[in-house]
Structure 1
Amino acid sequence: MSKKPEAIVFFDLDGTLFNSQIEVLPSSYQAINKLKQNNIIPMLATGRTPCEVVDLMHKTQIDSIVGMNGQVVLYQGETVFTNNIDKDVIARIYQFSKQQMDIPLSFYNYEIMRVSQDSQPAKVFYHYLKQPVPPVDDQIYLNQPIQMLLLLCESGEEHYRDLFPELTFIRNTPYCVDVFNHGGSKGNGITQLLQRKGFTDVPTYAFGDGMNDFEMFLTVDHPIAMANAVDGLKAHAEFITDDNNNDGIAKALHKLGLI
């Protein structure tokens, strides 16, 4: 059984733990190490999948993640929660995307990524992420659980919402829209973790900058916004720290007395 931590700190990645060059600042590495020394668990809370951030988790020595905006939760090597999309729903949205919208998809679970076709939108999006385009397999959802889809498009997601009320659509970059079960969020992933691990009495903190962090901010005890965060998120923060290029993570953790 896992030792109960003194606290848990959740870190969004882009615009938060990552600086503008998609790097983790030296001060943040040091702060994460000090958290662990103090029996405080650092966790990633990101729209990205665990398989996308394996190298980052190794470098930071963070072994727990709320991934895909809360659709999977891994805690110290244990799969605590997954939120799989129904195969029939995936088949419907794939056919609509292919036949009516001409929008390619990506299929994600916490171990693999696939794309529906070798397309220019896929090349543009994964270049933006500085990642290679995943392999093509438009049948992957028939034999693998899928927790998140991506619409690889710069516009058009408004045509989906009424047709697929069981799903949530969140534009996460200029080139893609995250798609997952309605009600799924970073906040729900955190709630699942706390309930399933018996951590409901453990103090929780979260750092974020975007509106996909909104539910997370409503869930944790102490939400902290980066100075570069959107105004809508700042309005729900306990306080606002420095930005992601100027040691905002370390400064806030010092202020909170966690390191």
Structure 2
Amino acid sequence: MTNKSVIFFDIDGTLLNHEKELPASTKESIMKLKEAGHIVAIATGRAPFMYEELRKELGINTFVSYNGQYVVLNGEVLYANPLNITSLIKLTEDALQNEHPIVYMDHEDMKANVPEHPFIKESIDTLKIKQFPTHDPHYYKERELYQSLLFCPVGEEKQYEEKYDDFDFVRWHPVSVDILPKGGSKAKGIDKIVEKLGVSKENVYAFGDGLNDIEMLTEVHNSVAMGNAEDVVKSVAKHVTDSVEDDGIYHGLQMVGLLK
């Protein structure tokens, strides 16, 4: 058992503001945590390749990606939970008939099963990342996929939810839905790291703002919701800090006693 604290941060709306920028106070706070000997980690729905530059800027090499499906501790893969490929192929066939494109994602890249589609561009552009899925309809072959993206208007994902019970479908954009292994979550990914590090639950912290942070903020002993979070997210957290735009990370770390 170690006396160190480990602090998990969501990215979008938590570490990064709504312009996908890292506030100066947030970066300074992260550096102070590390100087004090704490372990700083990321817990996000993003793929690892989508925030490699952020990890380098902050010197972070422990993270939970894909909402718990791909977990890395000190630069080494600790846990991986891939999608059921047989079910994904069947879902792809159904989606193609409905003119709903799919993007396949592993830990290194993402590929679309159609050459182009306005829904793909519209949703991926909001992430403001350098990567954009290129066309490879067979990317699922001979590799493990940890998430896929289904592109369809709100409500049309219900037909897939009813048919594919080994997947969770989580909407993140008006025209896009995450496809994840059933029952996965950031909280479960965090558990893998905490168990391996031997950190007591009293020394585990988590900051988040989104609906996919609810389980994490519910289960982590010291949980902090951002001021810009929805009310349902705030309701499950132990603390609520200011918004990401108003130095919320800095104030939240002060609130829980990790910074003076």
Gaps of 5+ in 1: none
Give the whole-Å Cα distance in 2 for the aligned partners of 1:198 and 1:167.
Answer: 31
1:1-259 matched pairs, under 5 angstroms: 4=2, 6-99=4-97, 101-117=98-114, 118-131=116-129, 132-155=131-154, 156-200=156-200, 203-259=203-259
Q: Does structure 1 conserve the Cα–Cα contact (< 8 Å) formed by 2:201 and 2:221? A: no
Q: Deviations over 1:92-129 (max 9, x none)?
A: 11111112x21111111112211111222112122222
Paired residue type of 2:56: H
Give the whole-Å Cα distance in 2 for the aligned partners of 1:85 and 1:200.
Answer: 31
Give the whole-Å Cα distance in 2 for the aligned partners of 1:257 and 1:158.
Answer: 44
Quote the RMSD (CA, aligned, Å). Answer: 1.6
Q: More deviation in 117-126 or 27-36?
A: 117-126
Give the whole-Å Cα distance in 2 for the aligned partners of 1:208 and 1:199.
Answer: 20
Q: Does structure 1 conserve the Cα–Cα contact (< 8 Å) formed by 2:202 and 2:221? A: no
Paired residue type of 1:76: N
Q: How far is the alpha carbon of 1:26 from its aligned partner?
A: 0.5
Change (3 A) 1:234 1:201: closer
Change (3 A) 1:228 1:7: same
Q: Which runs of 4+ in 1 moved over 3 A?
A: 196-202
Give the whole-Å Cα distance in 2 for the aligned partners of 1:128 and 1:186.
Answer: 22
Give the whole-Å Cα distance in 2 for the aligned partners of 1:127 and 1:195.
Answer: 36
Q: Does structure 2 conserve the Cα–Cα contact (< 8 Å) formed by 1:169 and 1:179? A: yes
Q: How many residues align?
A: 256
Give the whole-Å Cα distance in 1 for the aligned partners of 2:252 and 2:33.
Answer: 12
Q: How far is the alpha carbon of 1:219 from its aligned partner?
A: 2.2
Q: Does structure 2 conserve the Cα–Cα contact (< 8 Å) formed by 1:209 and 1:233? A: yes
Q: Does structure 2 conserve the Cα–Cα contact (< 8 Å) formed by 1:104 and 1:119? A: yes
Q: How far is the alpha carbon of 1:142 from its aligned partner?
A: 1.4
TM-score (norm. length: structure 1): 0.94
Paired residue type of 1:103: H
Q: Deviations over 1:192-218 (max 9, x none)?
A: 222344335561111111110011112
Change (3 A) 1:197 1:109: farther
Q: How far is the alpha carbon of 1:53 from its aligned partner?
A: 0.5
Q: Does structure 2 conserve the Cα–Cα contact (< 8 Å) formed by 1:106 and 1:115? A: yes
